[in-house]
DNA sequence: TTGCTCCTCACGTCACGTGAGGTGGC
DNA sequence: TTGCTCCTCACGTCACGTGAGGTGGC
């Protein structure tokens, strides 16, 4: 088949996968992804489709997982490799991935709300006569409302 | 004032801020956050309100920012420190934070969609007679529909 | 004085970055 | 044969982790 012949050297594969040579070699070293084959001179040759695996690893890293944890998740081909346990491992990995994404998204939405509150309060500060840069007090609490500042503004003031 | 006297030793402050001693000392070393004061014996004493700053740093790290970039963002007290430039730096930091969150959330929502597609296809695989663990082919493309697998399934198969 | 907490080195680790010096492939 | 890409060390870096050995604070 033509598909099996379509192998890429590490440079082209890195470009396709949106990464670099060092990272691919390191992933190989820690058992995350290996080239489909090697030339006699030691050149690594990758399948185009393996770029999806690299993308998955990147996505899981961005969710805060360590490479060892990722390796456990994506190693679905370990014994016993009967059809049922293989598919259930794939399902477990996908469910865990989904769980991580959902948790991260809701954490980010909370964060986003806090940033919005801070920006709203900052709008009031900009139209206010009190100066947060006088002395050490920085309008904590707000000299106009007497209320404490949003946590994020407090972090920056 | 009582508030200025309410200082915490590093252990209690770390617990409050959800971090640990080493991280706080490292943040201090790279100029991210310093204790409000030190005792004669060198003990660090932190203000409770500075825990919000630690939380902000954590949140920005989780968004993928390096500590040096975070330091640039949160250093709003550098010269010139007139009211206008101070407030505009705070605004810039908050806007950048919001931008990063929005970008991350939409990336995660795309990811989430891909995971859902993979799980849906996997459901078909579980009720299918073809075995993706036979030989090297792993049903690429799907033996029933002839269509390529979702990228995420391809990454795991 | 006794515990507990804190202090400062300082070496280790994870996930790469960055050359050095040498060889493979069309 | 000429470039360009690739190879394997191997040391450097970032953001801490983890003791070692010693001292501060109620």
Give the pLDDT confidence of B54-78 residue by residue, as tens digits. Answer: 999 999 999 999 999 999 999 988 8
Instruction: State which nucleotides on strand D lie below 7 Å from a protein beta carbon.
Output: 5-8, 14-18, 23-25
Smallest CA–CA separation between A45 and chain B, in Å? 17
pLDDT band at B156 (very low <50, low <70, confident <90, very high): very high
User: Could you tell me the pTM of the whole model?
Assistant: 0.90
Cis peptide bond prior to B105, omega within 30° of 0 = no
pLDDT band at A90 (very low <50, low <70, confident <90, very high): very high
List beta partners, residue B47.
B7
List beta partners, residue B115.
none
- List the B37-38 sheet strands across, edge first: B7-9, B44-47, B37-38
Whether pLDDT at A134 is above 70: no
Whether pLDDT at A72 is above 50: yes
Whether pLDDT at A135 is above 80: no
Region of B42 please: left (phi>0), alpha (psi -120 to 50) or beta.
left
What does DSSP say about strands A44-47 and A37-38: parallel, antiparallel, or unpaired?
antiparallel
Helices B10-17 + B51-62 axis angle, to 10: 50
Whether pLDDT at A156 is above 50: yes
**pLDDT value of residue A1:** 39
Contact assessment for residue A48 and residue A14, using Cβ atoms and an 8 Å cutoff: no
Whether pLDDT at B15 is above 80: yes
Please tell me the least confidently modeled range out of A141-155, B37-51, B90-104. A141-155
Please tell me the least confidently modeled range out of B11-20, B98-107, B130-139. B130-139
Q: Quick one: tokens of A46?
A: 């990758």
Q: Which of A90, A112, A126 lies closest to B87 in CB terms?
A: A126
Please tell me the least confidently modeled range out of A58-62, A71-75, B80-84, B141-145. B80-84
Contact assessment for residue B111 and residue B97, using Cβ atoms and an 8 Å cutoff: no
Whether the CB of A26 is less than 7 Å away from nucleic strand D comes out as: no
More confident residue, A17 or A127: A17
Query: B106-119 burial, b for 16+ CB within 10 Å, e for fewer?
Result: eebeebbebbebbb
**Residue B131 to residue A83, Cβ atoms within 8 A:** yes
**Residue A49 to residue B101, Cβ atoms within 8 A:** no
Whether pLDDT at B86 is above 90: no
Residues of A in Cβ contact (< 8 Å) with B56: 152, 155-156
Whether pLDDT at A81 is above 80: no
Q: Is B98 helix (H, G, I), strand (E, B) or coil?
A: helix
Which residue is closest to A151 within chain B, CA to CA?
B52
Q: Quick one: tokens of A115?
A: 């940033």
- Pick the residue of A52, A137, A139 with the most B CBs within 10 A to test the interface with B by mutation: A52
Please tell me the least confidently modeled range out of A22-26, A82-86, B98-102, B148-152. A82-86
Protein residue closest to C23, using CA and C1': A41
Q: What is the mean pLDDT of residues A23-28?
A: 98
Whether pLDDT at B134 is above 80: no
Please tell me the least confidently modeled range out of B37-46, B128-137, B146-155. B128-137
**pLDDT value of residue B133:** 54
Query: What is the C-alpha to C-alpha distance for residues B150 and B121, in angstroms, rounded to an integer?
Result: 8
- Of A residues 31-90, those with CB within 7 angstroms of nucleic strand C are 39-43, 61, 66-68
User: A85 burial class (0-12, 13-18, 19+ CB within 10 angstroms)?
Assistant: middle
Residues of A in Cβ contact (< 8 Å) with B98: 112, 115-116, 119
Which residue is closest to A79 within chain B, CA to CA?
B133
Smallest CA–CA separation between B42 and chain A, in Å? 23
Smallest CA–CA separation between B73 and chain A, in Å? 10
């Amino acid at each position: 088949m033509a598909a099996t012949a379509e192998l890429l050297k590490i440079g082209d594969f890195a470009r396709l996968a949106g990464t670099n040579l060092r990272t691919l070699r390191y992933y190989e070293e820690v058992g995350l992804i290996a080239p489909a084959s090697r030339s006699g001179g030691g050149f690594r040759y990758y399948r185009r489709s393996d770029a999806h695996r690299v993308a998955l690893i990147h996505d899981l890293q961005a969710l805060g997982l360590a490479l060892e944890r990722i390796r456990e998740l994506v190693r679905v081909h370990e014994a016993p490799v009967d059809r049922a346990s293989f598919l259930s491992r794939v399902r477990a990995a996908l469910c865990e991935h989904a769980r991580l994404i959902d948790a991260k998204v809701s954490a980010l939405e909370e964060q986003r709300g806090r940033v919005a509150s801070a920006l709203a309060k900052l709008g009031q500060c900009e139209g206010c006569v009190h100066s947060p840069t006088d002395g050490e007090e920085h309008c904590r609490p707000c000299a106009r409302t007497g209320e404490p500042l949003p946590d994020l503004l407090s972090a920056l003031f």
